[in-house]
Amino acid sequence: MPQDHDVGVPREAVTVTTEDQDDRRRFIRAATVLKARLLTKAGSMDGTVLDASLNGVKVWTAGNIPVGSPITLVLAGSVYFGGEVVWRRGETLGVCFHDDPEKVATIMAALLPQRCLQVGHA
C-alpha cells in the first residue's frame, strides 16, 4: 500500500518517468504520491495517485470500481477532475480525464513538474 502524503507535495518529490511504454504516450507522466478522493455512483473512497499526466492518472484504491465507471477525482479537497476508469489491475486503476488537457495543465501547475504541463510533448 502506498504511503499517504499531503497533496501539497513539493515538485522535487515528483519523479518524471521515461520508461519505454511512457515514451509512446502523448503526455509526459510524473510519478507522485498524492492523497485523493474518488467519487462514484456507488459512493466515495480514498485513494492515492501514483502517477499523473494531463490525460489521466494511475490510482491505488482499496475500493472496487469497475472498468468503464465514471468517476470524479478530488485532489486537495477542492480540485475536481471528471473521468472514467479505463483499466484495472488489482487495487490499481487508470483514470482518463474528460477535461481538456490545457485546462488540466492550468489546474495541475502546482502539482506537476513544468515539463509535464506541455501538451503533446511526451
Q: What pLDDT digit, counting tens, does each position of 82-117 carry?
A: 999 999 999 999 999 998 888 888 888 877 777 777
pTM listed for this prediction: 0.73
Q: What is the 3-state secondary structure (H, E, C) of 54-93?
A: CCEEEEECCCCCCCCCEEEEEECCCEEEEEEEEEEECCEE
The helix (run of H) or strand (run of E) holding residue 20 is: helix 20-23
Q: What is the dihedral of CA 22, 86, 91, 29, to 10 degrees?
A: 20
